Amino acid sequence: MNNHMYGSVLTLAALGGLSFLNATTANAAGLEYTKQSILPFFADGNYAELSYAYADPKIEGTDVAGGINSGQNNKIKDMMDDFDIWGAAVKVAPTENTALALIYDEPFGVDTLYQTGSEFSNSMGTTEARVDTRSLTVLGGGKLNSNFWLYGGMEYQQAEGGVQLAQNFEGDPIFYDLNVKDKSNALIPVIGFAYEIPEIMLRAAVTWRGEGEHSFKANESLLVNNAILNGVLQTTGPTDYNNIPDTVKNAIGLPKVGFGNTTLGFKTPQSVNLDFQTGLSEKYQLLGMVNARWVEWTKFNISPSAITEVVGEPLAEYKDDAYSVEVALGKQFTPKFSGEVRVGYDSGTSEPLSLLGPYDTIKSLALGGSYDVNDSMTVSAGAQYMWFEGGTAYSKLPIDKSLSERTLAKFDDGTGYALGVKLGYRF
């Protein structure tokens, strides 16, 4: 087979703009924004890339302010903000059988903002969550023989963010604020191996990435505006939870906990990626690709100490691990232009849904192209459309303990799109 021809297709399939969109599935399961691809490590020779993607998911629903069967329910307008993701990589080949790569990624995030008019907004504020992560992965490896690669390295991951929760429980508003005061850094091991048959452009690469343990200095505060509580305290309007006397907390069944400075810890999940490709037809210049991923979301949770004790559950946790797969077909149409079509499925993390990311399974369809400007420069671009499965969000009441759990909202199936572009340079 003509390696230059397939190399052009691979620029799209493994490294190009569409493949970056495949990595940035707008919102995959949990807090996932990208698939943490290491494929730049396998680029031919010395290579550098810079990529950008814009994603705009749309998810709406109905709260249950008046009860599940009530006509008083409020419309939840689009509560997923659009967002940008940048990526970059540099790969060098010290020898024919060794490689070093530096890969920048933004793997996890939350961009949620509830608009006014639903149970998740009140006079004290609105429900909003912002989480950003940035990672820099260093990989090194080499061939054990003509077919097997062994590689490994470390990911340096930085995280920051904050959460506000505004809810109205049967007419009693609360407002919780988690103000994260700093950034957290974590070092994460990455190990993988690959099997290649260069003559038919076959490669199967398996990559394991460990957990990222983060710790933040933060401040928690909680305001409540409960009618019974206001009557006992002879007050009107919101009351700081810390100002409620212990005798009153005991009388109405509230835990004796103080809000204020705290240490918040959580772990980004471990994962395993499988990246497979093989030439399908030299005559028709076709390349087939499969990308599969497992993420251990069941061990993830965000549990600030005070609000977790009051509510009785974490701010965020997931019932199931997530599995995803994308299948793609790449074709070279001219010596300079290649194209790809890709379909994908993400299993989600099952119900109950999180208010911070209220969707379950995701299906996607993506198209992209790659053009060799010259022997060194390649421009790639792609577009992806996504279908989000809705469902039900549950929570425990923080004030009225007689209702230990209730349905908060029903979220409709949603849609979204992503656009991406990448510049690749061989040197």
Tell me the per-residue pLDDT of 133-144, one tens digit each, with 9 for 90 and over: 999 999 999 999
pLDDT in tens, 203-234: 999 999 999 999 999 999 999 887 767 777 77
Residue 18: is its pLDDT beyond 60? no
- At 397, the pLDDT band (50, 70, 90 cuts) reads low
More confident position, 292 or 9: 292
Residue 250: is its pLDDT beyond 90? no
Residue 292: is its pLDDT beyond 80? yes
DSSP H helices in 47-189: none
The whole-number average pLDDT for the span 236-260 is 86
Encoding tokens for residue 278? 């093989």
The whole-number average pLDDT for the span 377-400 is 83
CA atoms within 13 A on the CB side of 329: 7
What residue ranges define each of the domains in the chain, with the CATH number in brackets? 3-426 (2.40.160.60)
The whole-number average pLDDT for the span 253-279 is 92
Give the pLDDT score at 29.
Answer: 78
- 115-119, 270-274, 360-364, 366-370: which range is least confident on average? 115-119
Percent of the chain with pLDDT over 90: 65
Give the pLDDT score at 209.
Answer: 98
Give the pLDDT score at 295.
Answer: 96
Distance of CA 71 to the CA centre of its chain: 34
d(C-alpha 403, C-alpha 397), whole Å: 7
Distances (CA, A) of 301 to 36, 138, 334: 20, 27, 49
d(C-alpha 322, C-alpha 271), whole Å: 10
Give the pLDDT score at 70.
Answer: 54
Amino acid at 102: L
The whole-number average pLDDT for the span 261-285 is 93
Residues 6 or more apart whose CB falls under 8 angstroms from that of 331 comprise 9, 284, 285, 286, 287, 338, 339, 340
Give the pLDDT score at 171.
Answer: 64
- 156-160, 290-294, 304-308: which range is least confident on average? 304-308
Residue 12: is its pLDDT beyond 60? no
Residues 6 or more apart whose CB falls under 8 angstroms from that of 146 comprise none
The whole-number average pLDDT for the span 70-83 is 84
Give the pLDDT score at 35.
Answer: 93
The whole-number average pLDDT for the span 290-301 is 94
Question: From start to end of 106-256, where are the E strands?
Answer: 109-113, 121-122, 125-126, 128-143, 148-169, 172-180, 184-197, 202-209, 212-224, 239-240
Give the pLDDT score at 52.
Answer: 95
d(C-alpha 118, C-alpha 81), whole Å: 17
Give the pLDDT score at 396.
Answer: 58
- At 398, the pLDDT band (50, 70, 90 cuts) reads very low
Residue 255: is its pLDDT beyond 60? yes
- At 323, the pLDDT band (50, 70, 90 cuts) reads very high
Give the pLDDT score at 276.
Answer: 97
More confident position, 234 or 60: 60
- At 66, the pLDDT band (50, 70, 90 cuts) reads low
